[in-house]
Chain A
């Protein structure tokens, strides 16, 4: 089990439990590295990584870039807003052009579901999916599960509820795959319009009452309402949504046990989660961000070890 079973990280769906545990174990070591005074190791000195972001991102991109730099890889960045994509170049052409400049690994975010898998089958580089449309966001799910493991000791047997816009969320889907693979129970909670119709076939519980969901769970992962992906109205108003599905300190304090609160960011304070909850000691939102770098270092390190040397 000392090597990943996959050559690319396109989605959690393709990972085994061993893969995930291997990533976590490696991430433990990197977490120690990023807390040293010199936060850098020379492992990936001879590797070049391209970060291709065809969709906006601040946190994920920064986190990947830091992870790559702390492994001593060379990094090039690319964002669609300022590129030839606007001039009509296809994805494969864009990527192949970049790869001709001797790039070993590609980290890609793309608005179309399946883009990372499509790319991984067609180009000669390791591909890491940093979010493909509404499909998957594997490194986010890994860092979420890693943060749960860090706070609660293990993921197995824990009850996790994912609240909010499940329909448009790649974080939700990757989280479901990852948590189930690790032996956790998963529930989704949100208004009927934002829960995919057949989601129960993935083996998750569905609940529309936030209070009941919170009473059931050990961990609540509060998702952001993705207004930019909603082309029609899924609920009457943000105010109504936050009245029914917003997590407040009052609700949190009224629960029978102390649950852990997570959020993948960016937070809309006052919508899905209030400020006093986001800043409370039950929230591990900033731990998630810190762990993001360590987990991404682990993924990059393990995939890079599969790059053949010329």
Chain B
């Protein structure tokens, strides 16, 4: 696999900052908005955005984590079952504006499951999607993000990985390309 950094730590920070201001443009003081990260990697996006937003706004933003394992459409199409992560939504989403967050938007299937899982908690007024990376050209479902960190055009055989200071040691986005023979 060939590695290529497509977002380094400096740009990473700028991107997070820009996403925060875009959110503020639409949601003002977040009095009727909640942020929900999709388990597992969307939670990293959520936590970074939450920290940054709160330091800009100077107030707390309501956040939750959502696990979508039981709502996936590939159950029994995999070798082994996926082990669920925890869901932690201790507020009412009825009539709230919800911003779903994930790290990479690719086929759109995860988001589809996330929407289903979300509706089990009530009927939000509006749902928006924020994704750190948008991989175009391989969408299986008619789903688009409202806020995008970076759009990348990739081949299906390639892989995009968002890495975090807290976990991998450095903020960056890497594109993995399989080496071609000859």
Chain A residues packing against B (C-beta within 8 Å): 2-3, 22, 25-26, 28-29, 32-33, 36-38, 40-44, 46, 71, 301-302, 304-305, 307-309
Contact = CB atoms under 8 A, between A and B. Distances in A.
Given A38-B119, A43-B71, 14 more contacts: A2-B83, A29-B70, A29-B85, A29-B87, A32-B86, A32-B87, A33-B70, A41-B71, A42-B71, A43-B72, A43-B75, A71-B70, A307-B76, A309-B77
Interface residues of B, number: 23
B81 A40 contact: no
B80 to A, nearest CB: 4
B70 A41 contact: yes
Interface of B: 67, 69-72, 75-87, 116, 119-122
B84 A40 contact: no
18 contacts: A2-B82, A3-B79, A3-B80, A3-B81, A29-B84, A29-B85, A32-B86, A36-B121, A40-B120, A41-B70, A43-B70, A43-B72, A44-B75, A301-B81, A304-B75, A304-B76, A308-B76, A309-B76
Interface SS majority for chain A: loop
Contacts of B72: 43
Contact of B80 (A33, A37, A305): A305
Contacts, number: 58
Contact of A29 (B76, B79, B80, B86): B86
Contacts of B87: 29, 32
A2 to B, nearest CB: 4
Given A29-B87, A43-B75, A305-B75, A38 B80 contact: no
A142 B6 CA distance: 49
Contact of A2 (B71, B77, B81, B85): B81
A42 B70 contact: yes
Contacts of A2: 80-83
Nearest to A305: B81
B7 to A, nearest CB: 31
A4 B41 CA distance: 26
Nearest to A301: B81
Chain B CB within 10 Å — which of A3, A26, A71, A305 has the most? A305
A2 B69 CA distance: 13
B69 to A, nearest CB: 7
Contacts of A28: 86
B25 to A, nearest CB: 32
A120 B35 CA distance: 47
Given A29-B67, A32-B86, A37 B122 contact: yes
Contacts of A309: 76-77
A302 B81 contact: yes
A38 B82 CA distance: 22
A71 B69 CA distance: 12
Contacts of A43: 70-72, 75
Contacts of A71: 70
Q: Which of A22, A29, A37, A307 has the most CB of B within 10 A?
A: A29
The 9 closest A-B pairs by CB, nearest first: A41-B70, A305-B81, A29-B84, A3-B80, A38-B120, A2-B80, A43-B70, A309-B76, A43-B75
B75 to A, nearest CB: 5
A71 B84 CA distance: 14
Contacts of B120: 36-38, 40-41
